[in-house]
């Protein structure tokens, strides 16, 4: 099997996993509407550190589109809120992931905050009321907590990455943390 085909298969598996996790977490009740755990973000974080940025972006956008299709919300307000949040989140995580002093936890926390901000911006446009901004401290606080949780999951995976057992990936995160924490690989 060619290296390109193996890589494509792993990317397709990551997309599938992100879709399933995203869809299943919508059944976990949260006391504030629009707030979710964001566990699908773990997959995007892993991809940001181990794959090319455009592969991670492709998976992120496809996940948002496919989940909207499954839920029947494509081109409805919730879809645009999710898309805006996803794009802002991705940009923030991409920037933070490229700065070596930050970990996946930092990237995830920034991404979660930007996701909440993107959702609020679209809600302000849809509802045509800036009063929606008052919702930001609540959704932002919870997003920060869930972002840190997702970041911890991603960080634990990245320092023990098994993806490199199957395809060639960027393992600089794993190597950087091996030196700092003396983790056996």
Q: Is residue 58 part of a domain?
A: yes
Structural domains counted in the chain: 1
Q: Could you tell me the residue range of the domain that residue 114 belongs to?
A: 3-26+34-175
Q: What whole-number distance in Å separates Cα of residue 168 and Cα of residue 133?
A: 44
pLDDT digits (tens, 9 = 90+) for 48-59: 999 999 999 999
Find where tokens 């299943």 sit.
24
Q: Is residue 114 part of a domain?
A: yes
Q: Is residue 38 part of a domain?
A: yes
CATH of the domain at 98: 1.10.1760.20
pLDDT digits (tens, 9 = 90+) for 44-94: 999 999 999 999 999 999 999 999 999 999 999 999 999 999 999 999 999
Q: Is residue 55 part of a domain?
A: yes
Residue 28, judged by CB atoms within 10 A of its CB (0-12, 13-18, 19+), counts as exposed
Q: What whole-number distance in Å separates Cα of residue 24 and Cα of residue 29?
A: 11
Helices (H), 98-171: 104-127, 136-158
- Sequence-distant (6+) residues with CB within 8 A of 62 are 15
Phi, psi of 10 (to 5 degrees): -65, -40
Q: Is residue 162 part of a domain?
A: yes
Q: Is residue 143 part of a domain?
A: yes
Q: Is residue 180 part of a domain?
A: no
SS3 content of the chain, % helix, strand, coil (to 5): 75, 0, 25
Q: Is residue 153 part of a domain?
A: yes
pLDDT digits (tens, 9 = 90+) for 95-145: 999 998 999 999 999 999 999 999 999 999 999 999 989 988 988 999 999
């Amino acid at each position: 099997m060619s290296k390109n085909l193996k890589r494509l298969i792993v990317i397709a598996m990551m997309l599938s996993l992100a879709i399933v996790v995203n869809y299943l977490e919508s059944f976990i009740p949260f006391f504030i509407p629009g707030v979710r755990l964001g566990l699908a973000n773990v997959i995007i974080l892993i991809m940001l550190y181990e794959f090319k940025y455009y592969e991670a972006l492709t998976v992120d956008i496809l996940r948002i589109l496919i989940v909207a299709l499954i839920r029947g919300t494509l081109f409805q307000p919730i879809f645009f809120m999710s898309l805006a949040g996803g794009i802002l989140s991705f940009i923030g995580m991409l920037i933070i992931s490229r700065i070596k002093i930050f970990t996946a936890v930092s990237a995830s926390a920034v991404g979660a905050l930007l996701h909440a901000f993107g959702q609020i911006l679209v809600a302000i446009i849809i509802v045509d009321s800036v009063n929606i901004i008052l919702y930001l401290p609540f959704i932002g606080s919870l997003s920060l907590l869930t972002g840190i949780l997702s970041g911890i999951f991603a960080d634990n995976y990245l320092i023990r990455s098994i993806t490199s057992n199957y395809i060639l990936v960027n393992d600089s995160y794993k190597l950087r943390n091996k030196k700092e924490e003396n983790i056996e690989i």
